Amino acid sequence: MISLIIIAVFVLLPISEVASQIQIVAPDTVKVDYSNSAIKNPKTATLLSAMLPGAGQVYNGKPWKVPIIYAGFAANIYFIDFNNRRYELFKEALAIFDEDPKDPEQPFPSLNRDGLVRNVNYWKRNRDLNYFLFIGIYALNIIDANVDAHLSAFDVSDDLTFRFEPSYESMSAGGGNVMGLSLKINFY
């Protein structure tokens, strides 16, 4: 009988210990936000830059690019206006020349008709090229916003390094020394 009590104590004692440790805990969890705020949506950046030049760059966290974009637009508008004024001036001079080549009101008396036609074509071509440049600056703004958003999650830390270093090697077969340039790539 005593042996039965001892066996019961050794069997039931660990079970009671485990039962006393079991606790029911109410769910206390925190939702983890797996979205990374550093990763930007390229579609949003592209649409913002298309609607308002520079808005995609601000969305991507690169507001320092906005003055560069608007300086490009301003310079281009200045040159469009400058070339257009010169084009209109020579076009008017050509019209005056065609009415009366001996007119004393001729703005460019030293130019003949061929010179006036060349100048009209030159300034018109420059003005039209600046229109295309304006479209190019606008497109570059959109492309920059899109590419920058795509590369927003790209690791550019010091762990990825490319370095050019001078190298010096001695040649065992020829007995000479060689100076060179080596590319060191580190992937940490």
pLDDT over 80 at 129, yes or no: yes
Helix (H, G, I), strand (E, B) or coil at 61: coil
For 62, phi and psi rounded to 5 degrees?
-125, 65
**Burial environment of residue 93 by CB neighbours within 10 A (0 to 12, 13 to 18, 19 or more):** buried
Rounded distance, CA 87 to CA 106, Å? 16
CA dihedral 93, 99, 105, 106 (to 10 degrees): 40
- The model's pTM is 0.64
Residue 33: predicted pLDDT: 60
146 closest CA partner among 21, 22, 44? 44
Residue 103: predicted pLDDT: 81
Q: What is the pLDDT of residues 165-184, one digit of tens each?
A: 888 887 777 667 888 888 88
Local structure of residue 176 (DSSP, 8 states): -
Burial 94-127 (b: 16+ CB within 10 A, else e): bebbeeeeeeeeeeeeebeeeebeebbeebbebb
